[in-house]
Chains A and B, each alone.
Chain A
Amino acid sequence: MDLISLYPTWYEPSVGSGWVIALIATFHVLASHTSVGAALLFAYLSHRAYKEDRDDLLDFVKKYGLFLMVFTYVAGSITGPGIWYSTTVASPNGIGALIHSFVWKWATEWVFFVIEVVGVYMIVYLVGKVDKKTHMKISVIFGIASLATMIIIVGILSFMMMPGKEIWFEEGGYLNGFYGTNTFIQTGMRIAFMFTMTAIVGGIVVATIKDPAFKKEMTRKLGWLGIISTIIGAALFQWYITSVPSQALLVMENRLPDYFGPSIIAVLSGTLAYFIITMIRPQFLVQGLAGGMAILFLVAGLWPEETARESMRKPWVAGQYVYSNQVIGRDVPGMDIKSDLPTIERVGILQAHPFTPDHLKVVNEANMIQSGEFIAMTYCSNCHSPSETGIRPLHRYFPEGVTQARMEKYVKGVLTTGNIAYMPKMPMLDSEVEALSAYLVMNNDGGQPAITAAIAEEVEHRNRMLAAQKATDKVAILDNVQEAK
């Protein structure tokens, strides 16, 4: 069988499908991490409320819980599967690899999700309706369930960067894929930063507290939580960097935007300053400041961090065996997985792709640009948009006026051989090299309008040919009928 597992491509020209995933994922990280941190904070506060018989702490839990329910549980619970949806349409084989290796882990996480969702309603709506001891117990269960959702997903996230242990490639096994050095360090780092987020978002609720003494107490509690967790998180981030593959570090050094480092340092310093200032002067803590801080952390902290984690995996998208363009790029004997590359080398990408239309399976003069576009969409568009904007636009990589011959030399010499460390190997037949190069040159020179016009011409030509063929067939049939008479 010459077909490989490749799905249709979704091409989003304005921002690119990769950014769509990143946008949803970043928002989800803020919502989910805040929720998990808050769940543990609620367990602590509920315990204190029970031990010290305090109603104000439970009122705070109720207020913060209701706030979270609307903003993070609603958005968080939807953007969670939302990441599945967005990766499904942008990277089906990437998410498929994770789903098929870790389906039971996700199913186990789901059990804790159900507990979490029932728990958050109980925590909010049963304040004052059940005794404090029972509320404390519900909060503790809710807190542990939330933490469980976090520790489970981190193992899967780590696998995206690299399987837990190298031996997974040879022996397979869920445990070898799930647990590794990176898993544990990343778990610690995420737990630390989730408390930072809880402390920042919690400020929005603390700002509404009327009683100055209670406001001061809660500001200090959240302030200390934020300071300690930020410092621990920053330290663990440094450690985390040591646990990623050397390939990822290379990408990090060469491919990440210049603003990445300064942005992370600025946001961490700003976060610490924010906590210190609000602890010293609780009256400064107003909703606008706390909300602004949450947005700043999202935009200047989480966004670069999540996009960096995404970029560092290149050329892989999952488990160091699925390329970012969905092709399986290496054998995994432990899972009986075979690389797609030999098949593509043998028959070409157009023959190997299950969704190639019949008229594009073999490149010829009449379908050159369409075939080139199909190859570019399959091989390139996940990471490089052929549009003016979008993710790392293709036209930025080629000089103006680049010739067909020069482009073919580049495609054949660099892309089909996999000579760029952070890009997949992309085998092509010579005819496919020619088609892709023709497309890239035209895209470089005339952009989308030129491509659209060329494709329209090819389609018209094809229609003319089909009509002519039909007419010839009709004449032949009539001739046969007359002969038969």
Chain B
Amino acid sequence: MDASQVAQITEMMYALRNPAGVPTYPLIFIGLGVLTFALHILFVQLMLGTSIITIFGAFKNDDKWRRLGSAMLEISKVSVSVAIVIGVAPLLFVQVVYDPHWYTSNVLSAYWVIAFIIILIFAYWAMYFYYFQNSKNKDKTVQPKARWSMLLSLALMLTVGFIMHSLTSQILHPDLWKSWYMQNGVMDYSGSTLHAYNLWRFAFFISMAIPVTGGMLVTYRRFKSVRSDADQAYLTWAAEIGKTWIKVGSIISALLYVAWMMTIPETAGDFATSFWGIIAGVMVLFYAVWAQFRLKGEAKFCSYMALPMALVIGLVIATSREMLRYGILNDFFHYDFMDYKIVWDWYSTGLFFLTFAIVGGATLAYFLTVAWQAGQTVGVYTPSPAVDKLGTVVIWIMILWTIQFFVVGFYVWAQ
């Protein structure tokens, strides 16, 4: 590709930008995008890993595996919900600074974008179908019914994952967009094709489900072991599987990461051997090393650290992924998200961060404290006065937020 061709592509990308601009520094959106993507993909991987355990448990004639499969189904259900709701955030932020790329990629594969929605609904419903078929049976060691629905759910989840992977990959090829819009010399308005993918990259992100779910199993043992009715032998067995999954899974993922780096587009230049190219792979391997040394014996504290560690590693990977995108689009195609037009809006910027920190922080602190302690209590849980008070404070914070929404609104309207 010669310089004039690159210049034309650069001009096209800048023309596509939304003229309304962005309300604050573009880097902030990228930062939030990286943070929320790391959280999103963590729950996606948890969902996939726990689904695999559920399926394995359902097909293996082993009491412990069946119990574990049933327990992991609960985590899988919640993980799908959380993955979807957290996934909204990176979807929002990518549209803000990479709108030329995201919108073009989506329109060129529009059928798949719509299919994504429908397939995801059926994937989730298939999981719930399996749950309702088996939830009433108190004996979790018998062979579950409707095992096909769990298999279907996993297959559909992987399908939507691939669609999203492809849409994200297409962002990286602005040089091919126009050719994708024309098939065999004729304009193609159908949006019926997924044009770009990298199976190694997809396999890497999916494979991370193994170590992440390993971390989940280690945490599961630690969390449940404090209950007076806990079956310690079963929990220890589950944790041992978790440790193995972290170690073996991290090695598999690291190998797939290397394969991905060896197949990144030429436009990425020497990214694979750069700091950000190397550090993500190193961090994946580091998880195995960490598990080897820190998850020995009881590991009371580190067992709880297994998932936060996975999140930290996920953050490094998410940052590397972002740097790869920046490297291709900025260094090669000269599209710099940092120079997006800013139309300052301090009120909405401030309101978001205050809501995020105060409303979100306080509410989730209360919710998670109650959920955590209720999960560790046999019988009915009654919170301590401090936790109860926190609940009252959160209600007042929510009420005040709603009042300010209308007070500001009426004031602006009356002006």
Contacts and interface: CB of A to CB of B under 8 A. Distances in A.
- Interface extent on B, as a size class? 35 or more
A3 B96 contact: no
Interface in B364-408: 364, 366-368, 370-371, 374, 377, 380-383, 388, 391-392, 394-395, 398-399, 401-402, 405, 408
- Interface extent on A, as a size class? 35 or more
Contact of A111 (B11, B359, B392): B359
Contact of B345 (A9, A77, A115, A174): A174
A455 B186 CA distance: 8
B374 A88 contact: no
A324 to B, nearest CB: 16
A131 B352 contact: no
B161 interface: no
A134 B370 contact: yes
A418 interface: no
Nearest to B106: A88
Given A5-B16, A8-B181, A107-B92, A131 B381 contact: yes
A159 to B, nearest CB: 11
A228 interface: no
B113 A144 contact: no
B187 A337 contact: no
10 closest A-B pairs by beta carbon, nearest first, are A3-B15, A11-B189, A89-B110, A10-B110, A100-B20, A104-B348, A82-B117, A92-B103, A137-B391, A144-B398
Contact of A130 (B104, B121, B374): B374
Given A119-B367, A141-B398, A114 B84 contact: no
B89 interface: yes
Interface in A66-99: 70, 73-75, 77-82, 84-86, 88-90, 92-93, 95-97, 99
Contacts of A73: 81
Interface of A: 1, 3-12, 17, 20, 24, 70, 73-75, 77-82, 84-86, 88-90, 92-93, 95-97, 99-108, 110-119, 121-122, 126, 128-131, 133-134, 137-138, 140-141, 144-145, 147-148, 151-152, 155, 164-165, 172-176, 178-181, 183-184, 328, 335-338, 354-355, 357, 370, 373-374, 377, 381, 455-456, 459, 462-463
Contacts of B374: 126, 129-130
A5 B103 CA distance: 11
A6 B398 CA distance: 41
A151 B82 contact: no
Contacts of A147: 402
A178 to B, nearest CB: 8
Given A141-B366, A144-B399, A78 B84 contact: yes
A136 to B, nearest CB: 9
Contact of B121 (A78, A97, A122, A175): A78
B29 interface: yes
Interface string B81-117: 1101111110111011001001110111010011011
B18 interface: yes
Contact of B187 (A174, A357, A463): A357
Contacts of A92: 99, 103, 106-107
Nearest to A95: B95
8 contacts: A78-B120, A92-B103, A96-B20, A99-B99, A111-B355, A121-B81, A175-B347, A354-B15
B343 A85 contact: no
Contacts of A97: 18, 20
B381 A74 contact: no
Contact of B21 (A100, A121, A128): A100
Interface of B: 11-12, 14-23, 29, 32, 78, 81-82, 84-89, 91-93, 95-96, 99, 102-104, 106-108, 110, 113-114, 116-117, 120-121, 124-125, 128, 177-178, 181-182, 184-187, 189-191, 341, 343, 345, 347-349, 351-352, 355-356, 359-360, 363-364, 366-368, 370-371, 374, 377, 380-383, 388, 391-392, 394-395, 398-399, 401-402, 405, 408-410, 412-413
Given A5-B19, A111-B359, A115-B360, A141 B81 contact: no
Given A89-B107, A138-B367, A77 B395 contact: no
A176 B415 CA distance: 10
Contact of B349 (A104, A112, A459): A104
B304 to A, nearest CB: 19
Given A5-B16, A103-B29, A115-B360, A131 B190 contact: no
Contact of B409 (A7, A95, A122, A179): A179
B357 to A, nearest CB: 9
Given A93-B18, A103-B93, A115-B360, 10 more contacts: A10-B189, A24-B117, A74-B121, A77-B84, A85-B113, A89-B106, A121-B81, A137-B394, A140-B395, A164-B413
